[in-house]
Amino acid sequence: MFHWVKERLKAISLFSTLSDQELDAIVHIATVRTYKPKTLAFMQGDPLDRVFFIARGMVKIYKTDTNGKEQIVSLLQEGDMFPHTGFFRRGAYPAHAEMMSETTLIVIPIEQFEQTLICYPQLCVKLFRVMGEKIIELQTRLEEFAFHNTAEQLARLFIRLAKTNGTYVNGRYRLKAPLTTRELANMIGTARETVSRALSQLKQQDIVTTDEDGCYIIDVHALQQKR
């Protein structure tokens, strides 16, 4: 298991430039857990004491309000870490983390990881770069919400998902996991019915289709004309 974890960590950009000795220090404080689909790694409000790295599978990060309304923050896949706020705050997890498929996570206690960061400053630099990318992504999503209608927001969402969660096949991108219309709506903060109408138009134009597994097949080039 030690060597398996080490190889998986090497594939994660945050750790890719570490020496064997430095990687060993991370592996010694890590544990591995496998989750079934629809199970949770943690719930919004649970004590924030661990960070997670995805070795295999997909994870949905989402928040809920007092009425139980869901807002999807991000869809994460192999090589991603979460929660990014874990190194900069104390208290509780700010969202839920739900498995979208059978998923294997490498789990590291925050307190021990912070001690490792102190020993290897280059890790801190890479971590700040990852955080900077997340800030830019959130700024872009806020601009989309403020300045674009539902059809434009949906087009931009599909383009983003194609790049982050898609596989290029025969000129189009296939998303790695099926998404419901409600989940799409929760990602852009609008009503399911509104997204359903916009999605129907994209399907009629053959810009977005689904395969036998229910995964979306996306023509990114055509969508870029609608942004």
How does pLDDT run across 138-158, given as a tens digit for each residue?
677 666 665 578 888 899 899
Residues 157 and 107 both lie in one domain = no
- What pLDDT was estimated at residue 136? 73
Q: Quick one: average pLDDT of 186-193?
A: 87
Q: Is 88 helix (H, G, I), strand (E, B) or coil?
A: coil
3-state secondary structure of 178: coil
Range of the domain at 93: 2-142
Q: Please check whether residues 84 and 67 belong to one and the same domain.
A: yes
Phi, psi of 179 (to 5 degrees): -130, 140
Q: Residue 217: pLDDT above 70?
A: yes
Token reading at 10:
């090497």
Report the CATH number that the domain containing residue 81 is assigned in CATH.
2.60.120.10
Q: Average pLDDT, stretch 65-69? A: 81
Whether residues 102 and 202 share a domain: the answer is: no
CB 91 within 8 A of CB 48: yes
Mean pLDDT of 157-171: 90
If you average pLDDT over residues 162-189, what whole number do you get? 90
Q: How many domains does the chain have?
A: 2
Average pLDDT of the residues in 62-73: 86
Peptide bond into 37 cis (omega under 30): no
Global model pTM greater than 0.85: no
Domain match, 35 and 8 both: yes
pLDDT of res. 89: 63
- What pLDDT is stored for residue 60 in this prediction? 94
Decide which of 142, 168, 183 is a domain's last residue. Answer: 142
Which of residues 96, 116, 142 is at a domain's end? 142
Tell whether 132 and 195 lie within a shared domain: no
Query: Is the same domain home to 20 and 126?
Result: yes
Distance CA(128)–CA(110), nearest Å, equals: 16
Considering 125, 142, 159, which residue would you say is the last residue of a domain?
142
Q: What CATH number is attached to the domain comprising 203?
A: 1.10.10.10
Percent of the chain with pLDDT over 90: 43
pLDDT at 130 over 90: no
What are the tens digits of pLDDT across the range 73-107? 888 988 888 887 655 666 889 899 999 999 999 99
